[in-house]
């Protein structure tokens, strides 16, 4: 009997220990930071083009994001399960430190897909009675589904263990309208919980009867705004203690959603003010019809501009420090991008972010392998985002600001007299013809850099974005303009740093 009792107590202790380990690995400890993230991030006071972490280190955010990284979605019911661990492996292999956690508000249908399209899970419980338009139980929009919020927390913790920061997309403008710009193959509003056919609460987000729910991304329907506010507070309560969190109000809501987005930004800031940690809040492009002026005028800590006003792709505007800018290809040209854009973006004081088709499983894109030779520009772009982050960690980003006037290519991030990082892109005309492309492979570029701010000795380094190779150049003396020619063909990165004496 004594032996039995002892075994029972030992079994209890071990089972309790195993349960504790499981809980810690899944949910972490409040206020505890693991891995390499040391947030929460703050706008860097010394250089507000970037964030800084709790240690004071300046952080450039860059990486790939893809549509299925949170909710499973696809053309079957249930939709295929997204392999999240493989995605984190992919980001880590490319040395990325940021992604957007995509969130769709609707349970079925998508503007870009003519066939049925399912999305799961959603934040609201499906209790019935009665069936929604997608043939499943109606939503109770006063009750939250714990599966949604548990998955959110678990995925952010898993990213934290890899040193990756995550922006939580709270709402999505592509989930509320039957026509989104030129995309009108299906009507996602039919699958939205705020469609009066889909909930048991008498909530109707289509007050004008146009078979779209644009009203729900405004402040017109007070009952819906209250539910949205409760949802935002629930998200905050779910992740408030995690240090690798950022918030994004919505992905491409219509231009008339501006005041609603401002309201949600202020809600997050006021609610988080009562919490131990506060996290950056972002506002991304309003589309269609939005202007970047709306973003800069917002109370957001960070923004992602669009292509409608201001050129942030071919010749990115230099960041002036009024906002942290995450320059995201999503809002500039869609599913697109190349390494030229990434390096230009970095040289102009912006944080480059890539909307990545990834494996093509989401949004009906079909099978696109990671290494598809037909998408070599994306393969190179992913690698170069990692290269850019490596340079961001090497240079003194706190003092480096855009100085296009110091380099003949106009792409120069510098602390004059101390450090210069210059990008030499291929000439625009070279990309317009076969003859131009041939010239680029045969000849090297030369760049003039103004080193008049210091007369000391500068060490020279060349980086080849096409291969990832680094080559040392011959040291040079400052005190005036100097010409540099890369030791290889094609685009190039030049890093010039003042040599410090051993006594310094």
225 three-state secondary structure: helix
Enumerate residues 6+ apart whose C-beta is below 8 A from 190. Answer: 106, 108, 109, 133, 134, 197
Mean pLDDT check: name the lowest of 8-22, 252-266, 415-429.
8-22
Residue 5 pLDDT > 50, yes or no?
no
390 and 407 in a common domain? no
Residue 431 pLDDT > 70, yes or no?
no
> pLDDT band at 434, cuts 50/70/90?
low
- Do 305 and 295 meet the contact criterion of CB atoms below 8 Å apart? yes
Q: Which of 359, 394, 429 is the last residue of a domain?
A: 394
User: In this structure, what DSSP letter does residue 156 have?
Assistant: H
At 68, phi and psi to the nearest 5?
-105, 15
Residues spanned by the domain of 426: 403-498
416 and 390 in a common domain? no
pTM: 0.89
175 and 74 in a common domain? yes
In a domain, 173, yes or no: yes
- Say if residue 40 is preceded by a cis peptide, omega within 30 of 0: yes
Domain count, the chain: 2
Q: pLDDT tens-digit profile of 235-280?
A: 999 999 999 999 999 999 999 999 999 999 999 999 999 999 999 9
240 and 192 in a common domain? yes
345 and 435 in a common domain? no
Angle of helix 84-93 versus helix 146-160 axis, rounded to 10: 30
> pLDDT band at 2, cuts 50/70/90?
very low
Q: pLDDT tens-digit profile of 126-162?
A: 999 999 999 999 999 999 999 999 999 999 999 999 9
261 three-state secondary structure: helix
In a domain, 11, yes or no: no
437 and 319 in a common domain? no
Residue 254: the pLDDT is 96
Q: Domain holding 214: CATH number?
A: 3.20.20.80
User: How many CB atoms are closer than 10 A to CB 84?
Assistant: 17
> pLDDT band at 15, cuts 50/70/90?
very low
Residue 33: the pLDDT is 36
Residue 18 pLDDT > 80, yes or no?
no
> What is the token pair recorded at 117?
């399209």
The whole-angstrom separation of Cα 324 and Cα 313 is 17
User: In this structure, what DSSP letter does residue 319 have?
Assistant: P
**What is the average per-residue pLDDT within 384-410?**
98
* 184-209 b/e (C-beta count within 10 Å ≥ 16 → b): eebbbbbbbbbbeebbbbebbbbeee
Angle of helix 222-239 versus helix 146-160 axis, rounded to 10: 40
- Residue 37 vs residue 269, higher pLDDT: 269
Residue 503: the pLDDT is 37
């Amino acid at each position: 009997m004594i032996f039995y009792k002892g075994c029972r107590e030992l079994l209890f202790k071990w089972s309790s220990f195993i349960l504790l380990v499981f809980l810690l690995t899944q949910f972490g400890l409040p206020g505890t930071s693991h891995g390499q993230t040391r947030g929460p991030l703050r706008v860097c006071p010394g250089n507000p083009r970037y964030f800084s972490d709790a240690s004071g280190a300046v952080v450039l955010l860059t990486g790939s994001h893809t549509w299925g990284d949170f909710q499973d979605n696809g053309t079957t019911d249930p939709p295929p399960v997204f392999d999240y661990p493989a995605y984190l492996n992919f980001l880590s292999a490319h040395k990325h430190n940021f992604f957007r956690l995509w969130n769709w508000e609707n349970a079925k249908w998508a503007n870009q897909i003519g066939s049925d399209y399912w999305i799961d899970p959603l934040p609201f419980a499906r209790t019935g009675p009665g069936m929604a338009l997608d043939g499943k139980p109606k939503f109770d929009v006063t009750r939250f589904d714990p599966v949604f919020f548990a998955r959110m927390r678990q995925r952010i913790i898993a990213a934290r263990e890899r040193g990756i920061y995550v922006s939580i997309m709270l709402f999505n403008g592509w989930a509320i309208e039957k026509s989104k710009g030129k995309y009108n193959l299906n009507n996602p509003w039919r699958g939205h919980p705020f469609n009066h056919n889909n909930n048991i609460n008498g909530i109707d987000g289509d007050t004008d009867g146009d078979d779209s729910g644009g009203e729900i991304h405004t402040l017109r329907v007070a009952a819906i705004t209250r539910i949205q506010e409760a949802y935002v507070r629930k998200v905050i309560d779910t992740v408030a203690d995690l240090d690798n969190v950022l918030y994004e109000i919505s992905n491409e809501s219509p231009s008339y959603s501006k005041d609603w987005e401002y309201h949600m930004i202020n809600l997050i800031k006021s609610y988080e003010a009562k919490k131990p940690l506060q996290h950056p809040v972002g506002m991304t492009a309003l589309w269609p019809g939005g202007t970047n002026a709306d973003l800069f005028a917002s109370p957001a800590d960070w923004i992602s501009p669009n292509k409608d006003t201001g050129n942030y792709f071919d010749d990115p505007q230099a960041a002036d420090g009024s906002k942290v800018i995450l320059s995201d290809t999503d809002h500039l040209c869609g599913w697109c991008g190349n390494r030229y854009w990434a390096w230009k973006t970095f040289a102009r004081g912006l944080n480059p972010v890539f909307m990545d088709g990834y494996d093509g499983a989401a949004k009906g894109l079909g099978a696109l392998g990671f290494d598809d030779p037909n998408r070599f520009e994306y393969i190179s772009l992913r690698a170069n985002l990692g290269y850019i982050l490596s340079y961001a960690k090497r240079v003194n980003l706190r003092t480096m600001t855009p100085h296009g006037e110091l380099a003949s290519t106009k792409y120069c991030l510098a602390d004059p007299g101390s450090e210069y990082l210059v990008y030499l892109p291929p000439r625009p005309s070279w990309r317009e013809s076969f003859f131009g492309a041939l010239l680029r492979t045969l000849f090297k570029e030369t760049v003039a850099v103004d080193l008049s701010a210091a007369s000391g000795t500068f060490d020279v380094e060349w980086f080849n974005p096409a291969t990832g190779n680094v080559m040392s150049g011959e040291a040079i003396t400052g005190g005036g303009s100097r010409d540099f020619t890369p030791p290889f063909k094609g685009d190039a990165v030049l890093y010039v740093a003042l040599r410090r004496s051993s006594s310094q």
